[in-house]
Amino acid sequence: MISINENYLKLQSSYLFSEIAKRVSAFQDANPDVKVIKLGIGDVTRALPQSCIKAFHSAIDEMAGNSTFKGYGPEQGYPFLREKIAEHDFQSRAAEITPDEIFVSDGAKCDSGNIQEIFSSDITIAVPDPVYPVYVDTNVMAGRTGKFSNGRYEKIVYLESSEENGFIPDLPKEPVDLIYLCFPNNPTGTTITKSLLKTWVEFARENKALILYDAAYEAFIRDDSLPVSIYEIEGSREVAIEFRSFSKTAGFTGTRCAYTVVPESCIGYDSNGGKHSLHSLWNRRHTTKFNGVSYPVQRAAEAIYSEKGKIEVKNLNDYYLKNAGLIRQEIDKLGYKHVGGENSPYIWVKCNMDSWKFFDLLLKKAGVVCTPGAGFGKCGQGFIRLSAFNNFENVQKAMIRIGKILNR
Amino acid sequence: MISINENYLKLQSSYLFSEIAKRVSAFQDANPDVKVIKLGIGDVTRALPQSCIKAFHSAIDEMAGNSTFKGYGPEQGYPFLREKIAEHDFQSRAAEITPDEIFVSDGAKCDSGNIQEIFSSDITIAVPDPVYPVYVDTNVMAGRTGKFSNGRYEKIVYLESSEENGFIPDLPKEPVDLIYLCFPNNPTGTTITKSLLKTWVEFARENKALILYDAAYEAFIRDDSLPVSIYEIEGSREVAIEFRSFSKTAGFTGTRCAYTVVPESCIGYDSNGGKHSLHSLWNRRHTTKFNGVSYPVQRAAEAIYSEKGKIEVKNLNDYYLKNAGLIRQEIDKLGYKHVGGENSPYIWVKCNMDSWKFFDLLLKKAGVVCTPGAGFGKCGQGFIRLSAFNNFENVQKAMIRIGKILNR
């Protein structure tokens, strides 16, 4: 009999974005004349950088000729891309990462979801609250949690981000094995300092734990004192895997390219205490279940490391940061507490009421869509996330509308 | 302590293609003047069809403008592609598959590797021998096998393909839960008739088992009486999932696009015997751990369903089939037994000696690379796989060289 993986039955329905879509669609049906402005989902809206477009076209021309055609490439990505990543994203910041330690993939969501496969099913995981749901759901599927009760899964250690700790979770009070961290944070938009990140690396080293560091939003960091990569922290190479993405960096959400860094010195343990290279394990997983990123897409990604590409990428993200600045400024004027939006495209706003009530208020009175914080976890209750991914003109309009209804 | 998934320690090193590469490279170093011809790996060599190239370019132009730019798409694929697939690949052959049942992905390797996640870890799996190694390895990683001994993993039911059964495995003598089938077959190149495939569907229905049907090579079928899809068989919708790929169909090995069909009526069971929709489970897995295929790639894939695209795809595959025909004809003349190569790009040759010895003979005496059958499993010993994926001129040269050394 073909029996199913019953861990899937523990999963809560992916309520958040479908519920948002339902409410927006009901509102729009009832109010066809209102032009709804979406500051909800974290998806980019601006064209790909010109350098990427040019490289993309040129790679497709190669695919059109028998002598320049490319079939299967290396599953880990072409050397031309891995070398540029290692040089520009790490070595230039004194983070000693080599091209062999870069695994190019089709998305940070895929990688952060798949990475847990190389670990034992009985490790203890620690995830932030509020959090990007993929970290939790993929561990539920793998059987690392108990059932869902009172808004949380049993057996997970939740790392709470709240006003009290400035939305940077405290170190766990108990030993944990696998720790998910994300900075600049989704959904709160907060960043972490080098000295604070160092305490996490030290915790991991002391507890033989591993940090999964999601740096998908690093391109929005403008404060030079902040770490862009966890590998800027001494001692991290043995205890951290980092996820990066071209999605937010260069507008690749619909083009699909990302990468994961697994240092050669990163280790895991077997039940006899024997040490094993996580680089080898991930390499085995990656080459067995993945077949490489589309060649033209890799060429498009490579283009962001050219001199022209770098400027275009900076301009692209400056555009979104200008939006974020406007949102912060207006929310501030209205007297609402908030974090994020400085080195991040997300602004986390304390709404002084239930998340979904505030969502409905903004939708029905202002025609603006946000994301209710409660959808990201228990600690998100009472907050909403505003996203800077839209046109500046739309953000201006949205903030004027919000200003009108919230002005006290 | 960060403990590893110890099932990975049972995996045998992916010996086959790395060993081939090592031997070829050693030979080439010692004989720099010999132009080695590769009829080994199953990778396409011809340019993408012109219709795909045109659509690909045009989609990239959309990504270059803010008003036509595409961010995240539906994880399951865009409706424009799912609708064309359902219509042209299934409904046109009276296989009742709807667009909602199509999950577009970046590769059949990924899908056939990932699908096992939605099943219980204690099901019994049946895999052909010889076989594409991904089916086996992904189940080893998931803990469904015992250790490797005597060339096989414990707990797997091996479905033997041999001269005796015409390289089409017999039905299992014991009940099994998950059955991997691949036709046209990799590596043997054999095809299955509708009446024989019907016996598998009936076996699955009787045993509450599920068939994973890998049809990645269906585009090479020229015999109209052969099934192109398992859904041409009555009763299959409840007991079969099918994998398809644009890789071999349209030269997409480096471009990356494939799809998996999970009918709404396909079911799995929980431990209380309750029925669950495998479509829902796979949808949950796919949307949680995957973020959709690159938009321009989906547009390129869509183009193969245009009138012009269909002709180009047929011509492309006819080209490889002409190569296959030449290989068969020459192998036949030399008096070697063989199957495949008629509705398939692979020819499976009985070499009357050890697979690797024959490999060395062809490499060292003829400068031709094949794939030793022993690399695909115990039953592959004594055979080699020749692939038709190369230029016709190279295949001609290769067969002349092989003729010279094997002529008896």
DSSP state of B131: -
Question: How far apart are the C-alpha atoms of B131 and B113, rounded to whole Å?
Answer: 14
Inter-chain touch B288–A113, beta carbons under 8 Å: yes
CATH of A6-47+315-406, one of 3.40.250.10, 3.40.50.1100, 3.90.1150.10, 3.90.79.10: 3.90.1150.10
Report the candidate in B224, B217, B161, B222 with the shortest Cα–Cα distance to residue B184: B217
Task: Give B236-286 pLDDT, tens digit per residue.
Answer: 999 999 999 999 999 999 999 999 999 999 999 999 999 999 999 999 999
pLDDT at A408: 67
Inter-chain touch B3–A63, beta carbons under 8 Å: no
Task: Give A128-181 pLDDT, tens digit per residue.
Answer: 999 989 999 999 999 999 999 988 999 999 999 999 999 999 999 999 999 999
Residue A8 C-alpha, separation from nearest chain B C-alpha, in angstroms = 7
Inter-chain touch A289–B114, beta carbons under 8 Å: yes
Fold of the B7-47+308-406 domain: Aspartate Aminotransferase, domain 1 (3.90.1150)
The alpha helices in B86-159, defined as continuous H runs, are 108-114, 133-141
Residue A105 pLDDT > 70: yes
Structure tokens, B234: 């009555």
Structure tokens, B114: 């990932």
Task: Give A260-291 pLDDT, tens digit per residue.
Answer: 999 999 999 999 999 999 999 999 999 999 99
| CB < 8 Å from B in window 112-151 of A | 113-114, 117-123, 134, 137-138, 141
Among B1, B290, B391, beta carbon nearest to A269 = B1
- CA count, 13 A, side-chain hemisphere, A315: 13
One-letter amino acid at B193 equals: T
Q: The whole model's pTM is what?
A: 0.97
Question: How far apart are the C-alpha atoms of A299 and B106, rounded to whole Å?
Answer: 17
Inter-chain touch A70–B107, beta carbons under 8 Å: no
pLDDT at B310: 98
Residue B145 C-alpha, separation from nearest chain A C-alpha, in angstroms = 16
Identify all chain B residues contacting A288, using CB atoms and an 8 Å cutoff: 14, 113, 134, 137-138, 141
How many CB atoms within 10 Å of residue B257? Answer: 28
Question: B172: exposed, middle or buried (C-beta count within 10 Å: 0-12, 13-18, 19+)?
Answer: middle
Cβ neighbours of residue B259 under 8 Å, at least 6 residues apart? B77, B82, B85, B102, B103, B104, B105, B111, B243, B244, B245
Question: How far apart are the C-alpha atoms of A166 and A9, rounded to whole Å?
Answer: 35
CB-based burial, A381-390: b 16+ in 10 Å, e otherwise: bbbbbbbbbb
What is the Cα gyration radius of chain A?
22
Residue A396 pLDDT > 70: yes
- Average pLDDT on A186-208 reads 98
Question: How far apart are the C-alpha atoms of A82 and A86, rounded to whole Å?
Answer: 6
pLDDT at B408: 67
* DSSP string across B388-399: --S-HHHHHHHH
Determine contact: B294 vs chain A, CB below 8 A.
yes
Task: Give A24-83 pLDDT, tens digit per residue.
Answer: 999 999 999 999 999 998 899 999 999 999 999 999 999 999 999 999 999 999 999 999
| Interface predicted TM-score of the whole assembly (ipTM), two decimals | 0.97
A237 with B276: CB under 8 angstroms? no
Report, at the CATH architecture level, how domain B52-306 is classified.
3-Layer(aba) Sandwich (3.40)
pLDDT at A18: 82
Report the candidate in B228, B221, B233, B245 with the shortest Cα–Cα distance to residue B113: B245
Report the candidate in B262, B247, B255 with the shortest Cα–Cα distance to residue B295: B255
Distances (CA, A) of B84 to A373, A392, B81, B120: 39, 37, 5, 33
Determine contact: A224 vs chain B, CB below 8 A.
no
Inter-chain touch A2–B177, beta carbons under 8 Å: yes
pLDDT at A330: 97
**Same topology for domains B7-47+308-406 and B52-306, yes or no?**
no
Inter-chain touch A43–B71, beta carbons under 8 Å: yes
Q: Is the dihedral of CA B40, B41, B47, B48 positive or negative?
A: positive
Question: How far apart are the C-alpha atoms of A341 and A323, rounded to whole Å?
Answer: 9
Report the candidate in A300, A377, A141, A258 with the shortest Cα–Cα distance to residue B63: A300
pLDDT at A72: 95
> Class for domain A52-307, per CATH?
alpha beta
Segments making up each domain of chain B, as ranges? 7-47+308-406, 52-306
Question: How far apart are the C-alpha atoms of B344 and B324, rounded to whole Å?
Answer: 8
Determine contact: A314 vs chain B, CB below 8 A.
no
Q: What are phi and psi of A240, to 5 degrees?
A: -145, 140
Q: Are strands B210-214 and B240-245 parallel, antiparallel or unpaired?
A: parallel
- Average pLDDT on A210-229 reads 98
Task: Name the region of A80 (left: φ>0; alpha: ψ -120 to 50; beta: rest).
Answer: alpha
Task: Give A340-378 pLDDT, tens digit per residue.
Answer: 999 999 999 999 999 999 999 999 999 999 999 999 999
B42 with B186: CB under 8 angstroms? yes
Determine contact: B277 vs chain A, CB below 8 A.
no
pLDDT at B203: 98
**Regions of chain B with pLDDT less than 70:** 408
Question: How far apart are the C-alpha atoms of A52 and A47, rounded to whole Å?
Answer: 10
A52 with A297: CB under 8 angstroms? no
pLDDT at A279: 98
pLDDT at B407: 81
pLDDT at B41: 82
Task: Give A287-329 pLDDT, tens digit per residue.
Answer: 999 999 999 999 999 999 999 999 999 999 999 999 999 999 9
Determine contact: A260 vs chain B, CB below 8 A.
no
